[in-house]
Chains A and B, each alone.
Chain A
Amino acid sequence: MGKRAVVINENDNVATATEVLQKGSIVRMYVGDRTIEISVVGDIAFGHKFAIRDINKGENIVKYGEAIGIAIADIAVGEHTHVHNVKSQRGRGDLYKKSRRSCEE
């Protein structure tokens, strides 16, 4: 069976789909030298990410071996991991404005 998703760095907790993945399908991929199998919880669009292990709310999402944001909800293995359950930590002027306002108050 071919690999239909890619894990770039062995420290990553998400994989990227290199094909459209139907809900419930079993996807094989390399993590470093190991091969793992994950059953995807929902449909995953081409190029989108899913968790390859359970990720707790507040934990970093790791791709390329680096943090790409934090989980804003618990994410189960196989679950679509994207803007609905991950938020960026950079360039957040909205947070900056709020913290500045609370300092002024």
Chain B
Amino acid sequence: MKFNGYRRPNGKVGIRNYVLVLPTSICATKVAFDIANKVEGCRAVNNCYGCCQIGNDYQTTFDTLVNTGMNPNVGAVIIVALGCEGLEPHKVFEPLQERGIPVSVLVIQKEGGTVGAIRKGVEIANRYAQDLSEMVKEECDISELTLGMECGGSDTTSGLASNPAVGVASDMLLAGGGTSILSETTEFIGAEHILAKRAVNPTVGQRLIEIVKNCEERAKMQGQDLRGSQPTPGNIEGGLTSIEEKSLGCSHKAGSAPIQDILQYAAIPSGKGLYIMDTPGQDVVSITGMVAGGAQIVVFTTGRGTPTGNPLAPVIKITGNRQTCEKMSDNIDLNVSAIIEGTKTIKEMGESVFQEIVGVANGKKTKAEELGHQEFSIYKTGATY
């Protein structure tokens, strides 16, 4: 199976062709958005951190920014820094330059402030966007694709219809040599023993059990009942009773392939096949991690309906709930409720999901893209100092 994509100098293939305007801290985020909004073909990302963070949180923000810059949908990067933040721009610049990505640094404190930085940033963005506009798509193999798999606003149709259909589509992509990422560690609670059996070796299986244990321990150490957050009130209204039930439904997105490895948040898989990324259950944070991990495209199943997208990767919304498809028609790309109604099989609808993935890879816009949904949020577990 083939699709047409943008071949990057480093060999990776993008299905979109953006100039990424990347703020290294919250102090630079407004300037980054002003630059991106001035030039067609640019995307900025909403970084709320990047300063006064230590340890794991510093590293997570750093990895997310650098690896987002390496996403194959990005053709060039403009790093925008205030100039005094903890997350230093040259550290973001170096790994991107080493990868052969056209990259520039803009420091607000050296450009006369907001207006000067925007002026210079727009000049650079204009040049990069024009260069990228000259790229011609070429035929690429489906094995070049990395698929992020997300579910949000779940109800019981998610576990019965949309997640198993995505599982079929993921298996088809993997059979073609591609890569899939399953995330949302919170939503493995109660299903981890089943997923762990599918690990390629016992070490990977044990790591899966550990990330779930750590997630559950974090809730316990706060003295809190996870039920305050999981399932959410909407999940419960949709018929989901417990995190265990939600997790067992969620894990169907992973199809039937063996699990190659467990990735830290925002980490890039080292090979092909099915990977698990340690992310929270919050959809936007989870998708941000998978797109940093190299997913060029995301499938997002929903029972209740949700609008969110991503700045760089198209997000395909799939529901198995006919009512939701009608009530949230602005946001749903694909309706697989025929599974619930018994008129189509999971396999048939899974093939439709796969065709939609290929169509969107070829350039078809998702509803989230058309409507400008570009949510981006970096994972954070500790205090800001």
Contacts and interface: CB of A to CB of B under 8 A. Distances in A.
11 contacts: A8-B160, A16-B239, A46-B239, A47-B321, A48-B156, A48-B239, A89-B244, A90-B216, A91-B226, A92-B225, A93-B223
B242 interface: yes
Interface of A: 2-3, 6, 8, 16-18, 45-49, 61, 63-64, 66-69, 81-83, 86-97
B159 interface: yes
A82 B243 CA distance: 12
Given A64-B248, A93-B221, A93-B222, A3 B241 contact: no
Nearest to A66: B248
Contacts of B55: none
A97 B226 CA distance: 13
B242 A86 contact: yes
Given A3-B342, A47-B303, A67-B244, A94 B156 contact: no
Contact of A94 (B191, B216, B223): B223
Q: Find the residue from A2, A81, A82 having the highest chain B CB count within 10 A.
A: A82
Contacts of B221: 93, 96
Nearest to A91: B226
Interface string B154-188: 01110110000000000000000000000000000
Interface in B220-261: 220-227, 230, 236, 238-239, 241-245, 248-249
A94 to B, nearest CB: 4
Contacts of A17: 239
Interface residues of B, number: 36
Contacts of B97: none
B190 A66 contact: yes
B241 A81 contact: yes
Contacts of B159: 64
A88 B226 contact: yes
B219 interface: yes
A68 B239 contact: no
A47 B340 CA distance: 10
B241 A91 contact: no
A42 B157 CA distance: 21
Interface in B306-326: 321, 323
Q: Find the residue from A3, A69, A91, A93 having the highest chain B CB count within 10 A.
A: A91
Interface in B197-217: 216
B218 to A, nearest CB: 9
Interface of B: 155-157, 159-160, 189-191, 194, 216, 219-227, 230, 236, 238-239, 241-245, 248-249, 303, 321, 323, 340-342
Contacts of A88: 226-227, 241-244
Contacts, number: 106
A52 B155 CA distance: 20
A90 B241 contact: no
B224 A66 contact: no
B155 A47 contact: yes
Contact of B190 (A68, A87, A94, A96): A68
Given A68-B244, A91-B220, 5 more contacts: A2-B342, A47-B156, A66-B191, A82-B239, A93-B220
Contact of A96 (B160, B189, B220): B220
A75 B243 CA distance: 20
A93 B219 contact: yes
A94 B224 contact: yes
Contact of A61 (B222, B227, B241, B303): B241
B342 A68 contact: no
Contacts of B189: 90-91
Contacts of B225: 91-95
Contacts of B303: 47
Given A47-B321, A63-B248, A66-B194, A91 B342 contact: no
